[in-house]
Structure 1
Amino acid sequence: MPDEIQQRAGVPVLVCDPAGPLVATERDALDLIGAAFAGAEVVAVPVDRLDERFFALGTRFAGDVMQKFVNYRLRLVVVGDISTQVAGSSALRALVHESNRAEHIWFVPDLDALDDRLRAAS
């Protein structure tokens, strides 16, 4: 399945294909933002599409990517199991916790959980 805009809980979401290209640079993140401009308000990126540097906060890659989404007023949702990454980093655990309390960046286990969050946010 290619990346596609889907209506999820009444919100247009760019749902990214798990088999799509890796998001390994800021340019890759900007490509997703550009694709979202076709009408999406949210970009749902599977964990497998994110370079491992995203979860190593010392690289600042996650911060750079997240800031791009905030700047363009798009919500970024990381979809999938990140329990291994969170278990190995208290800083990442704190980031996930704080992000999930806010509006712009969410970490959810699956698309059903994303649907629930979108319904709760409206």
Structure 2
Amino acid sequence: MENIDIQIHKALNSEIAELSSSEIIIRSLEDGVDLVGNLYYQGIDRVVIYEKNITPAFFDLKTGLAGEILQKFTNYRLRTVIVGDFSRYSSNSLRDFILESNKGHQINFVSTLEEAINLLSPNA
């Protein structure tokens, strides 16, 4: 996981990994699988990723990339919050996808790191 800064946030007896980079971290399904594997190997089960570090193709649901990658995250029970400004996307299907995801606790989309940490905290 080169060029990725991982900051660990403590929340009760749990750790939340905040990933950030000046580059795109997830460009493809393979990048997503590698990321899940690395985090799983490190014992991390809660992660914050920034929208800016994910390829724009992820947010075009027609590509299928979001579904494929998020399925891997779900299979490994990696609770994930993506932080960003999603209002700039005009796709109704993406908006619906985000709303539906936010009803659950596995994959969520929020606008701030504080919201992400609160969602991923054990009492959330």
User: How far apart are 1:8 and its partner, in Å?
Assistant: 4.1
**CA deviation string 1:34-71 (max 9, x = no partner):** 22120211121111111111111011000001101011
Task: Count the aligned residue pairs.
Answer: 120
Residue 100 of structure 1 aligns with an amino acid whose one-letter code is N
Structure 1 regions of 5+ residues with no counterpart?
Answer: none
In structure 2, C-alpha distance between the alignment counterparts of 1:34 and 1:92, rounded to whole Å:
26
1:30 corresponds, among 4, 29, 33, to: 33
Q: 1:8 to 1:90 in 2, by over 3 A?
A: farther
Q: Secondary structure at the match of 2:88?
A: helix
**TM-score normalized by structure 2?**
0.85
In structure 2, C-alpha distance between the alignment counterparts of 1:52 and 1:99, rounded to whole Å:
18
State the Cα RMSD in Å: 1.9
**TM-score normalized by structure 1?**
0.86
Q: Which residue of 2 aligns with 1:4?
A: 6
Following TM superposition, where does structure 1 have runs of at least 4 consecutive aligned residues deviating by more than 3 angstroms?
119-122
- Contact 2:50 2:83 (C-alpha < 8 Å) held by counterparts: yes
Q: 1:21 to 1:111 in 2, by over 3 A?
A: same
2:102 corresponds, among 97, 100, 103, to: 100
Structure 2 regions of 5+ residues with no counterpart?
Answer: none
In structure 2, C-alpha distance between the alignment counterparts of 1:105 and 1:73, rounded to whole Å:
10
In structure 2, C-alpha distance between the alignment counterparts of 1:99 and 1:45, rounded to whole Å:
15
Q: 1:21 to 1:56 in 2, by over 3 A?
A: closer
Superposition pairs of residues 12-51 of structure 1, within 5 angstroms: 12-37=15-40, 38-51=42-55
Which has the higher mean CA deviation after the structures are superposed, 54-63 or 74-83? 74-83
**CA deviation string 1:83-109 (max 9, x = no partner):** 101xx1111111111101101101011
Q: Secondary structure at the match of 1:73?
A: coil
